[in-house]
């Protein structure tokens, strides 16, 4: 069990056996089985040898029946239950263990309550008592613990005068005041004081004083319920890094962690660089927690940087899919590892399995190519799609490429890439001969023209310039992410085009656990040289632009063909606003939250041919088409498509799951909609 003191081939000690018994009982009690019975039994084997057997009667599991708060007036019981980690037993308790009474967890909850009240202005707050009482079972209710927190909230304080005094000649206090996070009259918040100390320290470090010390001094005005805060900046002694000690990494290699530091052992300590390393380690996504602290070294001017991390699952088994009344369920399965063998490398293998799509993809990324902060990767992919109610043709794409990523700053990255791929579209009727003869009437003449052209090879180079100011890459709640992409095709091959796209996401915390996401996107593609843009090089949009629409459900369409094929467009734009929030009637630790969203966007401007050699004589198009006559009647409108909807987002034990349902508000008559979509996966 990992809790025994007794070992094989050692002398039997009654004291040690008794200690083992108590430790086993304690383990079971921490798992909620307070009625456990442990009976140590010895079996004589002769020759002075015995077997030691622990007979265990586990008993029923006893959870937390209720959590009560006494003395709270400023915050409700419900709100305070949301602050702590201990939860009551409910129908989802089999997914968690926080409903088990644990004295250590209750102690941690007291600290969470203290920080919560200090964050909200209650500087005199204290916990008088935290008691747990085991309530026996009754005829209508099982046994369980009732935990009672008795509180003394005290009065709420506000910030009084807030200022900075600098005792460093070259660092005027006026330059540091902008780093303060609070203002006079604001509700007192201890976290803002801590954050201000950090911000001022960083600002002073940027001025070349890496060893400055910032000390907040509070002066409490009991009568007016104000706290005056003065930040005193002083130049500290020069300190050097004796060594960097990594703790807690059971899987990730030490050197993967150390390479994120811009300082090494023997260098002068620099707070800015340490904070930068901590931010980088968090953004890797390899660790559940990251904390860098200082410990005294072997001399007064030496410190030890201690990096405490806790590895988390970085493998991902993901399943995504959607549903439409005509095509049923479709799915994609991917297997990925963001920290391959603990070396920080990224490997992904994915496969598409569905009624109308099959494919495979392999990707490998080395984040520190040749030991430099330069990522390098390779990709290989194959995909086949079959005709659906939204597309009348089949596609086959096979290709690969390589890429490099160069960080310009901590937030700005430049990625370069090259891709070479072959793409072919076909119709089932084309196997019988000339598609202009055998496929007449089965698809748009623009599709038949592309089938007649056969397979095309695209050779394209491109770049992505991105800015990442998110607070977390895994679960962002604040910050901005923006990227600009361009691809230039025509470095050999059969296709010449320039494709440009931009994507911006902004996260803003509204109130506790409520997050606003604003998302904008746009793109344009055009041919160059003496070539026309091929239909498969257009943008095809659906729920990735406006939720509530089917794949290829938005944009230019040939309404003269029986299949009413989507033709794609050369320009698109989209805007989305989403608010994510917890469900008030469920415990926070279940990980279930909801979202409401509103989407708007458009795809337009078909630039392809409308008449084709080999097709019948052009015919008159119906009213509303962009062209009066032709083999293709293009319905192309840049009108706004919009929708509203709701989502359920669950960070389940099986991985993140998301369910979206959207109602279309505005569309063109020829657009195709699809109300429900889901995606999900698991981690290992």
Query: Which CATH number goes with the domain that contains 574?
Result: 2.40.160.50
Q: Is the dihedral of CA 555, 559, 560, 565 positive or negative?
A: positive
Instruction: Note whether residue 212 is domain-resident.
Output: yes
List per-block mean pLDDT (blocks of 10 residues) for the chain, which spans 684 residues.
56 83 83 81 83 85 88 89 83 66 86 93 94 81 88 95 91 88 92 89 79 89 94 86 90 91 86 84 86 89 90 76 49 81 89 75 92 92 79 88 91 95 85 70 84 90 94 81 97 93 95 90 93 89 92 89 88 97 75 92 92 85 87 91 94 74 93 83 47
143: CATH: 3.10.20.310
Q: Using alpha carbons only, what angle is made at residue 469 by residues 83 and 198, rounded to the nearest 5 degrees?
A: 60
Instruction: Note whether residue 1 is domain-resident.
Output: no
239 secondary structure, DSSP code: -
Question: Do the Cβ atoms of 130 and 106 come closer than 8 Å?
Answer: yes
Assess whether 229 and 245 both reside in one domain. no
**Residue 133 CB-half CA count within 13 A:** 9
Instruction: Note whether residue 414 is domain-resident.
Output: yes
Question: Do the Cβ atoms of 104 and 27 come closer than 8 Å?
Answer: no
Burial 246-257 (b: 16+ CB within 10 A, else e): bebbeebeeebb
Count the helix, strand and coil residues of the chain and give each as a percent rounded to the nearest 5. Answer: 15, 45, 35
pLDDT score of 395: 87
Longest dimension (CA), the chain: 106
Instruction: Note whether residue 266 is domain-resident.
Output: yes
Question: What is the rounded CA–CA span in Å between residue 319 and residue 657?
Answer: 9
Assess whether 634 and 676 both reside in one domain. yes
For 418, residues 6+ apart whose C-beta sits below 8 A from its C-beta are 401, 402, 403, 459, 460, 461, 462
Assess whether 408 and 394 both reside in one domain. yes
**CA–CA distances in Å: residue 680 to residues 129, 545, 647:** 43, 19, 13
**CA–CA distances in Å: residue 599 to residues 185, 518, 644, 672, 675:** 39, 10, 6, 16, 13
Instruction: Note whether residue 453 is domain-resident.
Output: yes
Assess whether 213 and 325 both reside in one domain. no
Q: Using alpha carbons only, what angle is made at residue 349 by residues 344 and 352, rounded to the nearest 5 degrees?
A: 150
Instruction: Note whether residue 632 is domain-resident.
Output: yes
C-alpha 273: how far from its chain's center? 25
Tell me which residue of 568, 561, 610, 618 sits closest to 439, measured CA to CA: 561
Burial 663-682 (b: 16+ CB within 10 A, else e): ebeebbebbbbbbebbbbbb
Question: What is the rounded CA–CA span in Å between residue 127 and residue 108?
Answer: 12
Assess whether 127 and 200 both reside in one domain. no
Instruction: Note whether residue 345 is domain-resident.
Output: yes
pLDDT score of 1: 47
Assess whether 92 and 122 both reside in one domain. yes
Domain count, the chain: 5
Q: Which domain holds residue 259?
A: 240-311
Question: Do the Cβ atoms of 349 and 360 come closer than 8 Å?
Answer: yes
pLDDT score of 546: 96
C-alpha 228: how far from its chain's center? 39
Question: What is the rounded CA–CA span in Å between residue 166 and residue 161?
Answer: 16
Assess whether 272 and 394 both reside in one domain. no
| Structural domain ending residue among the three candidates 121, 152, 183 | 152
Assess whether 90 and 34 both reside in one domain. no
Instruction: Note whether residue 6 is domain-resident.
Output: no
Question: Do the Cβ atoms of 392 and 427 come closer than 8 Å?
Answer: yes
Question: What is the rounded CA–CA span in Å between residue 200 and residue 202?
Answer: 5
| Structural domain ending residue among the three candidates 26, 57, 88 | 57
Assess whether 329 and 345 both reside in one domain. yes
| Structural domain ending residue among the three candidates 311, 328, 356 | 311
Question: Do the Cβ atoms of 331 and 320 come closer than 8 Å?
Answer: yes
Question: Do the Cβ atoms of 652 and 537 come closer than 8 Å?
Answer: no
Tokens coding 328: 């049923």
Assess whether 231 and 246 both reside in one domain. no
Assess whether 148 and 212 both reside in one domain. no
Assess whether 518 and 417 both reside in one domain. yes
């Amino acid at each position: 069990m990992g809790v025994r003191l007794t070992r094989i081939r050692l002398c039997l000690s009654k004291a040690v056996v008794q200690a083992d018994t108590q430790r086993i009982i304690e383990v079971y009690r921490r798992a909620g089985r307070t009625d456990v019975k442990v009976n140590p039994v010895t079996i004589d084997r002769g020759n002075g040898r015995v077997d030691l057997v622990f007979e265990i009667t586990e008993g029923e599991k006893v959870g937390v029946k209720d959590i009560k708060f006494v003395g709270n007036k400023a915050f409700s019981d419900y709100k305070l239950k949301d602050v702590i980690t201990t939860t009551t037993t409910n129908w989802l308790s089999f997914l968690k263990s926080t409903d088990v009474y644990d004295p250590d967890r209750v102690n941690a909850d007291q600290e969470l309550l203290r920080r919560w009240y200090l964050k909200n202005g209650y500087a005199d707050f204290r916990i008088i008592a935290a008691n747990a009482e085991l309530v026996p079972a009754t005829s209508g209710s099982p046994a369980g613990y009732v935990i009672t927190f008795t509180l003394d909230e005290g009065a709420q304080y506000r910030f009084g005068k807030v200022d900075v005094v600098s005792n460093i000649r070259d660092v005027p206090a006026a330059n540091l005041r902008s780093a303060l996070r609070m203002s006079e009259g604001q509700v007192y918040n201890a976290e803002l004081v801590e954050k201000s100390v950090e911000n001022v320290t960083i600002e002073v470090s940027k001025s070349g004083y890496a060893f400055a010390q910032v000390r907040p001094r509070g002066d409490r005005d009991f009568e007016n319920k104000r706290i005056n805060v003065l930040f005193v900046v002083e130049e500290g002694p020069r300190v050097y890094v004796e060594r960097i000690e990594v703790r807690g990494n059971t899987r990730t290699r030490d050197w993967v962690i150390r390479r994120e530091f811009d300082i090494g052992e023997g260098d002068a300590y620099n707070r800015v660089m340490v904070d930068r390393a901590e931010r980088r380690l968090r953004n890797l996504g390899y660790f559940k927690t990251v904390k860098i602290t200082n410990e005294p070294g072997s001399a007064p001017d030496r410190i030890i940087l201690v990096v405490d991390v806790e590895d988390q699952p970085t493998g991902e088994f993901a399943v995504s899919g959607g549903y439409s009344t005509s095509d049923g369920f479709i799915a994609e399965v991917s297997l990925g590892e963001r920290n391959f063998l603990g070396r920080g490398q990224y490997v992904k293998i994915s496969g598409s399995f569905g009624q109308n799509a099959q494919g495979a993809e392999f990707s490998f990324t080395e984040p520190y190519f040749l030991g430099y902060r330069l990522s390098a990767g390779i990709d290989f992919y194959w995909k086949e799609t079959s005709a659906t109610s939204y597309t009348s043709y089949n596609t086959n794409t096979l290709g690969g490429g390589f890429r490099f990523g160069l960080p310009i700053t901590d937030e700005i990255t430049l990625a370069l890439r090259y891709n070479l791929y072959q793409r072919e579209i076909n119709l089932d009727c084309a196997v019988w001969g000339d598609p202009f003869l055998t496929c007449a009437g089965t698809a748009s003449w623009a599709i038949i023209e592309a089938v007649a052209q056969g397979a095309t090879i695209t050779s394209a180079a491109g770049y992505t310039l991105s800015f990442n100011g998110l607070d977390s890459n895994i679960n962002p709640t604040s910050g901005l992410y923006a990227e600009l992409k361009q691809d230039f095709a025509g470095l050999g091959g059969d296709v010449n085009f320039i494709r440009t796209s931009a994507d911006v996401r902004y996260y803003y915390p509204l109130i506790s656990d409520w997050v606003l996401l604003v998302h904008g996107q746009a793109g344009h593609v055009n041919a160059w040289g003496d070539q026309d843009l091929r239909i498969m090089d257009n943008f095809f949009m659906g729920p990735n632009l406006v939720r509530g629409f089917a794949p290829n459900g938005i944009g230019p369409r040939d309404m003269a063909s029986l299949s009413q094929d989507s033709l794609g467009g050369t320009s698109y734009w989209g805007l989305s606003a989403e608010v994510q929030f917890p469900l008030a009637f469920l415990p926070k630790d279940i990980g279930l939250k909801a979202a409401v969203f509103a989407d708007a966007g458009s795809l337009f401007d078909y630039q392809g041919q409308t008449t084709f050699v080999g097709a019948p004589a052009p015919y008159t198009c119906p009213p509303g088409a962009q062209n009066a006559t032709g083999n293709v009647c293009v319905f192309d409108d840049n009108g706004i498509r919009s929708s509203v909807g709701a989502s359920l987002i669950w960070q389940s034990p099986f991985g993140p799951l998301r369910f979206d349902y959207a109602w279309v508000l505005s569309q063109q008559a020829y657009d195709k909609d699809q109300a429900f979509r889901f995606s999900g996966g698991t981690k290992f």
